[in-house]
Chains A and B, each alone.
Chain A
Amino acid sequence: MTVTDVRKDPTALTMEIVSEFSAPIDRVWQLLADPRQLERWWGPPTHPATFTDFDLTPNGAVAYFMTGPDGEQYHGWWRVRAVEAPNLLEVQDGFADDEGEPNPDLPVNVMRIDLASEGSTTRMTIRSTFPTLDAMEQTLSMGAEEGMLAALGQIDAILAE
Chain B
Amino acid sequence: MVVCTLTDEEVDRLFRALADRTRRDIVRGTMLDDASVSALARSYDMSFAAVQKHVAVLERAELVVKRRSGREQLVRCNVDTVRRAQQLLDQLESIWRDRLDRFEQLLAEDRTTTTPLETENPTP
Contacts and interface: CB of A to CB of B under 8 A. Distances in A.
Nearest to B89: A8
A149 B28 CA distance: 29
A152 B90 CA distance: 12
A98 interface: no
A141 B24 contact: no
Interface in B60-96: 61-63, 81-86, 88-96
A59 interface: no
A2 to B, nearest CB: 5
A149 B110 contact: no
B2 A134 contact: yes
Given A107-B6, A152-B98, A41 B93 contact: no
A10 interface: yes
Q: Is the interface of A mostly helix, strand, loop or mixed?
A: mixed
A15 B98 contact: no
Interface in B92-115: 92-107, 110
A21 interface: yes
A44 interface: yes
B43 interface: no
Contacts of A143: 91, 95
B57 interface: no
Interface in A1-56: 1-3, 6, 8-13, 15, 17, 19, 21-23, 27-28, 31, 37, 40-42, 44
Interface of B: 1-6, 10-11, 14-15, 18, 24, 27-28, 61-63, 81-86, 88-107, 110
28 contacts: A1-B101, A2-B100, A8-B93, A9-B89, A10-B85, A17-B96, A17-B97, A21-B104, A23-B107, A31-B106, A40-B102, A41-B99, A105-B3, A126-B96, A128-B96, A131-B6, A132-B6, A132-B14, A133-B88, A134-B2, A134-B6, A135-B11, A136-B85, A136-B88, A140-B95, A149-B95, A151-B98, A152-B95
